[in-house]
Structure 1
Amino acid sequence: MYHFIFDIDDTIYDQIIPFKKAFDRNFAHYAHLSLDDLYRYNRHFSDEVFEQTVRGEMTLEDMHAYRITEAFRVLEIRISREEALQFQQDYAAAQGELEPTPDMREALDYCLAKGLKFGVITNGPAEHQRKKVKQLGIYDWLKPEEVFVSGELGFMKPDLQIFRHVEEKLGLDRRRTYYIGDSYANDIVGAKGAGWQAIWIDRRGQTLPEGGAQPDITLGAHDSVADTIRRICEGESVG
């Protein structure tokens, strides 16, 4: 029997949807910009200072202001700290309306119906991520102890410790475990380093680094996670 562990952000839900709502409310006058580019840079700068935030060397407010300010800077636009924080406030409000994509809902339903071992690993502050998990309705499929949040554990993806911790708590066979996520650096590198198999959800058409860890399966924006899981479990060739 196979096991499936899911990421949350930009995996179970499409993170650009709340991002776009906040952008439209605050920066409609920059409609000529590529939202995909702005979003991608925002994620890049967020990841850049994430560990500093976890260690308490940067406040969450400073991190939120930094990531969107720097994303605009790359696109040669300057925004104020006040504009950045208002954007974050609206972004957080839009995240309060999150729901799984229909495909991910189908995938979670399938795992539950088949009695598979499955769970979630997500990086982020404990309270923030638990609130997001609850908003998404993840507890309709999983128990709270089957959802692993880096902010509660003291280590995060791609650190090997978090994958080994989940293996132990859920009783996983790593050779038959798939991790499903969107972040190459955190999800794919982390899962492959742990000896798991990896399904990369590449919504934005990213380029893989040469010579790095390779996902076992890559899914584009219009590919089905639910169908992929079903085919794996039924022994069909996927990839």
Structure 2
Amino acid sequence: MMQAIFFDVDDTLYDQLTPFARSFEKHFNFYDIPLEALYTTSRKLSDEVFHLTENGQMNTQDMYVYRIKQALAYFGKQISYEKAAMFQKDYQEFQREIKLIPEVEDVLSFCVEKQITMGIITNGPFAHQERKIKQLKVDQWIPANHIFISSKVGYAKPDVNIFRLAETTLGLTDKHIYYVGDSFQNDIIGAKNADWKAVWYNRRSHKKIPNTVEPDYIADKNTLFEIIHKIELENEER
């Protein structure tokens, strides 16, 4: 059987575009900007500078402001630091109302039924990520000691060490370990470099990073449960 499966948090367990859109609509009247493209650009910018927040070269608030200011600048819009900070404040506030994606909830329940070890590996500030995890109520399926948050453990995806830490902590000894995430750079490349199986939860039809790795499975917004069910059946037949 599948020995273990780990999940990313943002835009994997919940739809991150929802709180982003609510804050955008509250603060801006840029009706000519495609919202999902703006969100995707913001995420890309965030990933590019995230390591600077981990090593202390950029504080977290400046990173939050940078990503929305630069994303809007890409679409020809200029905003102040203060306006960007207000957007971020409400973005975080709206994240207090996030809910599990229904299909993901089905996957978690299926894995409990099959007695598959589950965990979370996520990048970000500890208190911020922990608050989102609590809001999603994933403790019904995943115990607290199976959750690895980069700022708490000292490693961040795609660094292979955060995957190795999860293996060691949970006593995982074989390579029937799977990782589900939306970020090709952090989740898929990270998992594959750790010799884990990678399920790319590509809900927004992103393109693969060329000349890197191949995900073992690709799920869109409607096929994650089907793929996890198929993986478990294949493992049971071995």
Which of the five TM-score ranges fits, normalised by the shorter chain?
A: over 0.9
- Aligned-pair CA distance for 1:221: 2.6
User: Equivalents in 2 of 1:49, 1:232: separation in Å?
Assistant: 34
Deviations 1:79-114 (A, max 9, x none): 111110111011001100011010001111111121
Which segments of structure 1 move beyond 6 Å, counting only runs of 4 or more? none
Equivalent pair of 2:5/2:179 in contact (CA under 8 Å):
yes
Deviations 1:46-100 (A, max 9, x none): 1121111122221221111111000001111111111101110110011000110
What SS does the corresponding residue of 1:79 show, helix, strand or coil? coil
Aligned runs of 1:103-114 on 2, under 5 Å? 103-114=103-114
Q: Does 1:188 align with 2:188?
A: yes
Matching residue of 1:230: 229
Q: Which amino acid aligns with 2:233?
A: E
What SS does the corresponding residue of 1:199 show, helix, strand or coil? strand
User: Equivalents in 1 of 2:211, 2:143: separation in Å?
Assistant: 38
Matching residue of 1:147: 147
Matching residue of 2:211: 211
User: Equivalents in 2 of 1:195, 1:58: separation in Å?
Assistant: 31
The alignment yields a C-alpha RMSD, in angstroms, of: 1.2
User: Equivalents in 1 of 2:137, 2:52: separation in Å?
Assistant: 30
CA separation of 1:10 and 1:174: change in aligned 2, threshold 3 A = farther
Equivalent pair of 2:202/2:219 in contact (CA under 8 Å):
yes
Q: Does 1:59 align with 2:59?
A: yes
Identity of aligned residues (%): 39
Equivalent pair of 1:7/1:120 in contact (CA under 8 Å):
yes
Matching residue of 1:11: 12
TM-score, normalisation: structure 2: 0.95
TM-score, normalisation: structure 1: 0.94
Deviations 1:197-228 (A, max 9, x none): 100011221111222111011112332x2221
User: Equivalents in 2 of 1:209, 1:148: separation in Å?
Assistant: 25
Name stretches of at least 5 consecutive residues in structure 1 with no aligned partner: none
Name stretches of at least 5 consecutive residues in structure 2 with no aligned partner: none
Matching residue of 1:77: 77
User: Equivalents in 2 of 1:149, 1:59: separation in Å?
Assistant: 17
Deviations 1:122-166 (A, max 9, x none): 011111111111111011111110111111111111111111111
Aligned runs of 1:38-187 on 2, under 5 Å? 38-187=38-187
- Aligned-pair CA distance for 1:37: 1.1
